[in-house]
Structure 1
């Protein structure tokens, strides 16, 4: 029989500590593995905290504005404005490409 004694390995992290570690891991050029190692965590824990601390995204429809005088754009079927970015989608654009570009703009 093996008896394990000593300090319990489970730690309780304050939300401020979690946010600080997640923010450090999200910095450009940061290594999640390095930050996790310095904090004595597994990288998967940081990813879990990032997911848990993210603002919930409610499914639904996006707001659409239709202007009375649309700008003529040759060869475009749809023009999207997302967060200051303008995306012009050609009528013959592959749906997978359009979906990938829109997902990248949401981040």
Structure 2
């Protein structure tokens, strides 16, 4: 139940939302009144959107490819190799523990991001966008 305390205004529906609701209403076995109730839309409005879809007046916006500028830079002459930050090695672990902290050789599917403050993030090409955003948010903080 929605309680409106101020002046009631018209809701603005995005075309994608309208198309989604119409598609749900036209699915096999769907009950138009139930779909309208679930999305808090009048049945008349839903019939109007269906008519618009059938006439071609309401359609999804075409997906336009978008290019993002990328700048490839030569590594700075004084840049130190990227070092993985792991738990500190146990005292007396010697050369073996130190060699694990050095960056592994670059593999073709690996992406290395070096921030201006020297922080380095290495990910494989299979990392998800959501996971990478979370990591970058934490690193920048």
TM-score normalised by L of structure 2: 0.34
- TM-score, normalisation: structure 1: 0.45
